[in-house]
């Protein structure tokens, strides 16, 4: 049976920049079939190749972040390299870059210059503070975006300093918004025939998910602070200790769900207790309610408590580590852990494709290229039509 066509096949993407936000956008597009050409300066690898844990000297993050991408080397600081990129742009749909604003302009690769070559070009620009405004020239990593976007101040416990979340959420959030913007621009181009710039800032992407943070302050005089594992005024929604010395999460803050939790606990009368019978009352009596729930969970092993809660339709779960994720049959059934052949490490486990499409799902065809410039010949000779001796000369000049 022939394989289905991936939904973004036919889109050619040139991915510039390093590390997280820009390349994560490239990964998402590549998962659904876009031809993503990852550009690295010759002799200066993307630091992501060596970030995180390693095995046999090989970084374990890179094969995931750069999966499905083609790897070329190109020196954008030199005029010959800039001209070569412009030749690629003639045949591209999208350029992704996450340099500090002004860098592309300094290299004579501004959107104005590139769109003259290809009016249909979409440029996805990711930076700390965006392409305009008084902070545009500032360096900005995900950590700064998380801080200035409001997330760090509400993460952690009230009696401790602001904390980071355990993954690079600022970068990946920005990549998600950048990818949405990119696909919106691709769709709009089908009507106008024109490209445009997608301007995505780290701090704005974080701020965009901050719920009612601003009206809470301006209209109710309330500044959100760190609250640990609870949601202010929303109960029960917390973690609870069990007999076998682990924690489970229970979210039962809706009236109907709370009554089911009371039945699961063998205390249906709590559902009618005026201290807990309404959303507002539960928020007011959160500490007492949480202590009653934990008194119940401490009498049971985690799996026994979770089985009772599941039977009653109460949202609940373990707090997973990698071990529990790998053992979970639901992850397996949904193909959320897949194995891709790595030329040096063999079978390489990584997250599956998200989201799931019913008719044209995405696919991981290969792990990130282990060698810089692995696809130089394919791109420069087969696509651009350079002669082998021309490519060799460019290599000797440190252009590719």
Residue of 171, 199, 216, 255 marked active site: 171
3 state DSSP class of 15:
strand
**How many Å apart are CA 380 and CA 368, to the nearest integer?**
19
What residue spans of 193-278 are helical by DSSP H? 202-207, 213-220, 255-264
User: Which residues sit opposite 7 in a β-bridge?
Assistant: none
| DSSP H helical ranges for 166-321 | 169-192, 202-207, 213-220, 255-264, 279-284, 286-297, 302-311
Residues in the chain: 400
Annotated active-site residue 171? The verdict is yes
From residue 299, give the alpha-carbon distance in Å to each of 62, 133, 244, 269, 337.
44, 57, 9, 19, 34
Long-range contacts of 100-109 (CB under 8 A, 24+ apart): 100/127, 100/128, 100/137, 100/139, 101/125, 101/127, 101/129, 101/130, 101/131, 101/136, 101/137, 102/137, 107/76, 107/77, 107/82, 108/79, 108/82, 109/76, 109/82, 109/85
Q: Which residues are catalytic?
A: 171
């Amino acid at each position: 049976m022939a394989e289905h066509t991936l939904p973004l096949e036919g889109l050619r993407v040139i991915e510039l920049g390093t590390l997280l936000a820009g390349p994560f956008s490239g990964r998402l597009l590549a998962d659904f079939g876009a031809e993503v050409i990852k550009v690295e300066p010759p002799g200066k690898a993307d630091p992501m190749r060596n970030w995180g844990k390693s095995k046999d000297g090989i970084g374990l993050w890179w094969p995931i972040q750069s999966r499905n991408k083609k790897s070329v080397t190109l020196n954008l600081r030199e005029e010959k390299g800039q001209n070569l990129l412009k030749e690629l742009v003639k045949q591209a749909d999208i350029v992704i870059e996450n340099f500090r604003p002004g860098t592309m302009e300094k290299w004579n690769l501004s959107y104005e210059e590139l769109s003259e070559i290809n009016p249909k070009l979409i440029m996805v620009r990711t930076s700390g503070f965006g392409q305009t405004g008084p902070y545009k020239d500032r360096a900005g990593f995900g950590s700064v975006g998380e801080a200035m976007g409001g997330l760090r101040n509400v993460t952690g416990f009230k009696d401790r300093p602001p904390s980071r979340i355990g993954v690079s959420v600022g970068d990946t959030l920005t990549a998600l918004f950048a990818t949405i913007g990119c696909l919106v621009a691709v769709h709009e181009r089908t009507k106008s025939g024109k490209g445009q710039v997608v301007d995505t800032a780290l701090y704005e992407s974080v701020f965009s998910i901050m719920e009612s943070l601003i009206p809470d302050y301006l209209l109710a005089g309330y500044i959100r602070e760190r609250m640990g594992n609870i949601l202010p005024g929303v109960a029960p929604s917390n973690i609870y200790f069990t007999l076998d010395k682990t924690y489970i999460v229970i979210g039962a803050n809706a009236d109907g769900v709370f009554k089911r939790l009371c039945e699961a606990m063998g205390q249906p009368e709590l559902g009618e207790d005026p201290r807990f019978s309404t959303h507002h009352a539960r928020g007011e009596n959160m500490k007492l309610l949480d202590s009653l729930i934990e008194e119940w969970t401490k009498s049971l092993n985690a799996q026994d408590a979770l089985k009772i809660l599941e039977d009653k339709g109460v949202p609940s779960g373990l707090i997973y580590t990698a071990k529990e994720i790998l053992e979970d049959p639901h992850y397996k059934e949904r193909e959320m852990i897949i194995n891709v052949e790595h030329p040096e490490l063999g079978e390489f486990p990584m997250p599956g494709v998200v989201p799931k499409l019913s008719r044209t799902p995405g696919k991981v065809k290969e792990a990130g290229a282990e060698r810089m410039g692995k696809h130089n010949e394919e791109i420069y000779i087969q696509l651009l039509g350079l002669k082998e001796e021309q490519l060799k000369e460019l290599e000797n000049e440190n252009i590719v």
